[in-house]
Chains A and B, each alone.
Chain A
């Protein structure tokens, strides 16, 4: 019984080797791996569509290096343990580059496998800072700013534009909000700004007057808040009512039109950081229009970042004139490429130069980029 299973497995492996060889001739294979099923599928599927649109465009022009592009699409369901298998599978399929993965955890578990195989990977959405900053994955690139870039943008704004010397930091005790608050505190310390108050608040609380009293009792010149808009709108309303007039600076969770709608007049003057707005870029408009033409609906999450990632990767292969991993990586680092996110290139660590956050302020009921 056991023997027959072994024989079967051996046969299957042999056959798969042949299939692998047989396919290897006329195409350049690029993997698209990410969450395509499960509750985070809506984060991963737009990337597949973006890659398909970009590949189609290249193929129409005659392909890459004279060969047609073939996409190898694998699902990792956003799970690290599945991601390692998907990675091994696409490496076995002989891909020359990877677009993905989507979630930071899954990306991390797959990167080691690509690194050993010398295959570059570019993610449209994995924002965990150490992925690039640790230096463990020289084959990793991304077209989205890491989490701490946002805190850095806000901190720089508070220190240099607002000129604050002392700040109070509040956060909502959740991963995103507290992470942002921690990064801000570290960045501000380097810039010589003192954090005089650092506190968590309870999500869904009715009354934040005690903690605001505490803020008012310090000599903070600005209040930084890490969290989402429901708490932010309560905070700004209760601040105004109590006559606390220091600037309120927050994150992408607050840079949302719902915040302005809910906080109304109290939102006026609030600062929040968000991804730079590139919707005026002609490539951005074209990418969205292509998506609407092809699927008759608006694109989903990270579509633009994925479009930029696919464009950058294919451009790098073209410029490198080879499918060798090292050649592609050095092309990614040296060549600027036009994408929907603007003209971008990649730094030594793999973060995109030219992709980042900007600070916005609510003026007359709309967010205006400063």
Chain B
């Protein structure tokens, strides 16, 4: 293969990986925003709690049982999903539900507060040090010759992102619950009038959003090999940018925005300098918001007068 072409291909694949990583977190952001118009800043912490749950459950299973790594991964993933979903729902009940009719800024501040509380809770309950997270994903043998292009974990992250996006899109388009979610998003009062239990819909949204965050947390920790209480903040910021870029509230938008962001960072790092990858990310955000303030796939909301 021509070295220049190979280099370009490697950068594109690395951009796709970064994009998939951001997308796994951005999907939850955008779903919650779509339904209750709240930027859930504690979403990154739910992601971090997912990773910690998998670390603990996986660690215990690795020591006490002789299950194969894939089974352990599966069990940890399920545990992380349940645990994070419980956190997400509790968060909504404690911090957001009482503020549902308050100004949007109030709920936003509440979200930032919850983010700090959860970070410091994990800091106190666990440790401030980085903890090693041994990869639970065994290398696929068919990928070994091409590992300079694409590693197994990267492939798993990409595939998962697409499956999750597909699942969410189908869920929202074709199920009863999806219909109820769309109705709640459009007009909460009218939705209640036609008999939709919006509390149930919102709880469900937090369950799904937190579950995707937990899946993201586990897979990304497999990729980075280490976690601490602060990973959610850093990842959350990038995912938030990606969600805004794609048009916050739109599921395909979150994925598209994430890929645009990941690709910009990767190509920028590859052809210009990796010292400025954050600068490229925010530059593209500014450019897109100047020309399309609602984001790539966001719908312009008509202000009713």
Tell me whether chain B's interface is mostly helix, strand or loop, or mixed.
helix
Q: Complex Cα distance A233/B278, Å?
A: 21
Interface presence of A134 (CB below 8 A): no
Q: Which residues of B contact A173 (CB under 8 A)?
A: 275
Q: Tell me the chain B residues, 70-111 only, with Cβ under 8 Å from chain A.
A: none
Tell me whether chain A's interface is mostly helix, strand or loop, or mixed.
helix
* Contact status A242-B274, CB under 8 Å: no
Q: Complex Cα distance A209/B20, Å?
A: 14
CB-CB nearest in chain B for A217: B7
Interface presence of A201 (CB below 8 A): yes
| A262 and B275 in contact, given A210-B14, A210-B265 (Cβ under 8 angstroms) | no
Q: Complex Cα distance A241/B143, Å?
A: 11
* Contact status B129-A258, CB under 8 Å: yes
Q: Which residues of B contact A264 (CB under 8 A)?
A: 132, 134, 225
**How many residues from B make CB contacts under 8 Å with A?**
41
Q: Tell me the chain A residues, 246-261 only, with Cβ under 8 Å from chain B.
A: 258, 261
Contact pick for B11, options A205, A210, A229, CB 8 Å: A210
Number of A-B contacts (CB under 8 A): 100
Q: Which residues of A contact B195 (CB under 8 A)?
A: none
Contact pick for B14, options A213, A217, A234, CB 8 Å: A213
Q: Complex Cα distance A355/B154, Å?
A: 45
* Contact status A233-B226, CB under 8 Å: yes
| A210 and B15 in contact, given A173-B275, A199-B273 (Cβ under 8 angstroms) | yes
Q: Which of A206, A208, A217, A243 is most buried by chain B, counting CB atoms within 10 A of its CB?
A: A206
Q: Complex Cα distance A243/B148, Å?
A: 6
**How many residues from A make CB contacts under 8 Å with B?**
32
Interface presence of A216 (CB below 8 A): yes
From residue A264, how far is it (CB to closest CB) to chain B in Å?
6
From residue B255, how far is it (CB to closest CB) to chain A in Å?
17
Q: Mark A5-36, 1 if CB is under 8 A from B, else 0.
A: 00000000000000000000000000000000
Contact pick for A230, options B18, B130, B275, CB 8 Å: B130
Q: Tell me the chain A residues, 164-203 only, with Cβ under 8 Å from chain B.
A: 173, 199-202
List chain A positions with a Cβ less than 8 A from chain B: 173, 199-202, 204-211, 213-214, 216-217, 229-230, 233-234, 237, 241-244, 258, 261-264, 266
